[in-house]
Amino acid sequence: MDTSSDIFQSRQYKLNRILLSMLGQWPFQKERYKRGIFVTVAFIGITQFITQVLALVTLRHNVDVIFEAIAPLLVNSLCVVKITNFIYNTKEIKILLMHVQKDWQSWVIDREFEILHQFAEKGRTITIRYATGIYAFGCLFPFLAIIPKIVGKNVTSAYSTRPVGFPYHVEYFVDLNKYYYPVLIHNYLATSIRLTIIVATDTCTIILIIHCCALFAIIRYRLEHIRISIEQDKRLAFLEEDEKMYKNFVYCIKKHEDAIQFANCVENIFKNALSAEVCITVFMMSLSALQATTETLTPQLAIRHGAYILAQLLLLFLKCWLGQQIIDHSDRVYSSIYRGEWYEASTKSQKLLSMIMLRSSSPSTLTIGKIMVLSLPSYSAIVRASASYFTVLRSVR
């Protein structure tokens, strides 16, 4: 891996940097580029959002179509929450990224570098798979909508707000048949921006959480392989045996505190946004399930709504899985102490281990607004909540 001063030029973080740069949200971009890109992206997104709201007003007397028009508006709201959170916490995110770069420049033994590299590769793999999945699901809507237009079928739409080929209901108060292609391009650009916002912000969260897990893994290695760590740490070469162990434990305490602070910072940045995201996702899944159970459901609509629900389930599962990763890696520090050669250390050195044990007895977490801890058990609870809201919506409808 590239160990230059800018680690984000390396293959492990390059995709994340490019995605955020496309939105003008990469913290290390030049300010004039950030502003220019963001203003352009925001203009396209906001204008398309307004047309969707106007379409909802136009279609307010048709309940079924209102549900259909609300779904993309919820996706827009999700994107607004994500991008607003990044803008509001730009300084904090920049600090975390600088912390990542510092860790890559300050590794002490070879195994630390290997662990950082291993987890960075894991983050890159998840980023690629997540981006591929979201773009695939996101492109399915425009693709299914435009097929009749491509094959040349004489198909007409029942609604003026959604001509054939349009993925969503929009209202421009112009003749959409006359300005068909300009408006269609505007909609597709807005769709690509929404997808990029979701992918860029979520994958940035992924690499930060994965790096946090790497920090805990480094501590666990130093505690489980005390002798090997001491032998590889050149800074301890000229110290007495007991002093070597003492310095090693001091290093572990400092690294453990850094990892906990990193996890707390990630938690503070994303807790409120995650709360809003989960609420929106729950409502989106309930609404999608409601649309998928209508009597007028066609195979095309079944594919569309099925893919929509699946994408939401996967997105929600990823967030809960990441929360579980933080819990597992921080919690394992406690048990790692018992696996090392702690019994060979002096009483003075062993007392340092009690500090780590006490601090790691309460694992780090990722929460939804300090209300619910994100974990695999909470995933099932959230899905059950979606099913309950679906039942309520179905009874109201």
* pLDDT on residue 46: 92
pLDDT band at 326 (very low <50, low <70, confident <90, very high): very high
Q: Which residues constitute the domain of residue 188?
A: 7-396
* pLDDT on residue 152: 67
Q: What is the pLDDT of residues 156-181, one digit of tens each?
A: 566 677 777 788 888 888 888 788 88
* pLDDT on residue 2: 40
* Side-chain-facing half-sphere of 292: CA atoms under 13 Å: 16
Q: What pairs with residue 368 in β-bridges?
A: 372
Residue 32 covered by a domain: yes
CA pseudo-torsion sign 56, 60, 66, 71: positive
Residue 1 covered by a domain: no
Residue 2 covered by a domain: no
Among residues 216, 212, 247, 213, the alpha carbon closest in space to that of 229 is found at 247
Q: What pairs with residue 373 in β-bridges?
A: 367
Q: At what angle do helices 347-360 and 241-292 cross, to 10 degrees?
A: 10
Compute the distance between CA of residue 161 and CA of residue 172 in angstroms, rounded to an integer.
8
Residue 236 covered by a domain: yes
pLDDT band at 346 (very low <50, low <70, confident <90, very high): confident
Question: 41-67: b or e for each residue (b if 16 or more CB lie within 10 Å)?
Answer: beebbeebbebbebbbebbeeeeebeb
Residue 67: is its pLDDT beyond 60? yes
Number of domains in the chain: 1
* pLDDT on residue 3: 39
Please report, rounded to a whole number, the percentage of residues in the chain having pLDDT higher than 70: 94
Residue 105 covered by a domain: yes
* pLDDT on residue 170: 86
* pLDDT on residue 4: 39
Average pLDDT over residues 81-106: 93
* pLDDT on residue 1: 41
- Are 72 and 52 in contact by the 8 Å Cβ rule? The answer is yes
Residue 154: is its pLDDT beyond 60? no
Q: 387 or 365: which carries more pLDDT confidence? A: 365
Residue 114 covered by a domain: yes
Residue 139 covered by a domain: yes
Q: What is the pLDDT of residues 180-212, one digit of tens each?
A: 888 889 989 999 999 999 999 999 999 999 999
Residue 63 covered by a domain: yes
| Max mean pLDDT range (194-208, 220-234, 361-375) | 194-208
Q: How crowded is residue 392: how many other Cβ atoms within 10 Å of its Cβ?
A: 11
Question: Which segments of the chain does DSSP mark as H helices, in order?
Answer: 11-22, 31-58, 63-88, 90-105, 110-151, 180-224, 226-232, 241-292, 299-339, 347-360, 376-396
Residue 392: is its pLDDT beyond 60? yes
- What is residue 363's three-state secondary structure? coil
Q: How crowded is residue 300: how many other Cβ atoms within 10 Å of its Cβ?
A: 12
- What is residue 337's three-state secondary structure? helix
